Structure 1
């Protein structure tokens, strides 16, 4: 019978002390043990009690294991190995946690069900004790050669590892994600061209050769890094760069929101308030035209008629819809036409100043936007992986060590996503009083 996750021990005594179960275990008496260095039959020097912490049981209580560990010594005077303690799959040498407790802690952090500190409190050990065990487990997961397979579409996205303070600047890290599956491939420091180029130089040549499309936000650092990598690394010259649709539409929404704030301040002299028409309709302005019902259209048009005397907000709203039409088109030629219309609309001499910035971005990223429409590549799964990364950061209340941050992220999102079993709907019982 397997006890405590190990079939090499037997329980000799059990005691419940203050709601905590204490188990005394030991290995059966060995018939013959040889010295690993000289091969002489070893002799026993008795047993020494070692205290271990086991994983919580079904009732949630933590179990303490007291392992009566046997000590051996070699009678050969010329042998360099004098004494040693027995080893068992119950726990690794010089560890406080059993192997089952280490796997439980790693699984808990992998599922982002708590932090290292909360796991340590649950087991009744120190933070470093849990993290040393989890880090060893995570290094095995990250170092698995079969963890990352060929990637045809690579997604890049940045996230804030540490917010700015009085003594330190804001620190960014970038996530390389398989845009087809959402698997986090790796985390590297920074978001500049040099940071991306340095990371690509460290990747295997065969893995880089399989990449066909790189999808990223309209950030010049990523585009410059890919351009340099085509020349200096094994990244193929035929690799295309695709601009993420969400990032482009977000710039159009920011232009609309900026124009709304500016016009409101110029007409009223104060920031938006609850009863102001433009402030009250701020979310309707950012909603897609096809998602507005009749009441929404009436409310938005009434706000524009009442508080947009120069029609600048209306022009930004039309520009936003032109940008959305680019990625809604099924035919690349239609998307190209919508892109040209959006640029022409934003570059009109009477256009608001917010659209001038949007026009420059659309013209500068013209090729990348066309590639995104033609290849149907987006950072949707990359953004989902980024949300899980932020979930890991929130669960730990922030990180200061990039190595620990990387291991926690790759442990939680660095494996291939599993196909979950579809949920079977449960029919509720019909009340007996219903006629």
Structure 2
């Protein structure tokens, strides 16, 4: 492998979260300037959250730089303290993987992924591995196998746990940046925690990333912040409503395509997505600017459902919701039946949503697919998983705050309230 080349002059990004982001390696600078990485400027970090928190317009580009910067700080601390358990030769690999971990995110990624069965990590790996991408060409200048190593870290298959831990674990640079950044741009205080303290107590130890036991309270604060952010921001029911409407848009468009519908407006990358033939070059074109232009054009489609759903999303005329303490299948089925009688397709205008912890990984040590846990290192050099020593972590791990939300078009029920069964009028407070 070629020796990493330092830049002749350090590059600096001004950042609202970390104050400054420092780029010292030529490879990292070249990666930032690839077209694939620059595309992340056109992908929002929080998807549809901007319809709930108007300041949430920040991009995957700024987040990816932030993850890189936290990773750089961690490694710099390891090198300053000359920790023997830190594999110095992996420095550039960690920095590149941190920078590129989200390069495969699509527009409104989770809604598109849900509809078309795509996965942003798989796309990140494809962008890293396919030889005709600018990212791959930069990485291959380091070593012929360097793209495979970077992809291995992103896919969490790399053979050195400590390298993967920096980018993907219960206490990783990715989570630390997005909590601070998302809290800043949404204007909430939930996501704040003492980053500098956590970085000071992190250690490489026998192939693991660990935390000094004296830093446990700083980590507890981080985990509590994460918990609050998920329930107050990421799982906000209005944001979920926007995701529901957007998912219904893509679901309807996909159904129409399969039925042979002739769209008044279509773009080739989206058409190949429908056909499951999307290439990396196509994927590069799929950004939020293109998708919002598509949604605008779809408001003029002859299909009334597609036109209405697209208009709802663009105009923020979202579905309203009622909260259900438990799932009542008979009540939901009655509502579906009545909607059909009113000429409204419940497949597109009714949704039951439960905010599962699909992104919030609570501690379940030993379970399949569990992210690498947080290990505490005591003064006797013993390692203990944090929930075994922290009552706070045990408490938030066991809390299930999720409730069912039933999403529906409010004006429909108001206009036809007298036609609804008494139990449904009571549910929607129409009596």
Report the TM-score, using the length of structure 2 for normalisation.
0.20
More helix by share: 2
Structure ranking higher in strand proportion: 1
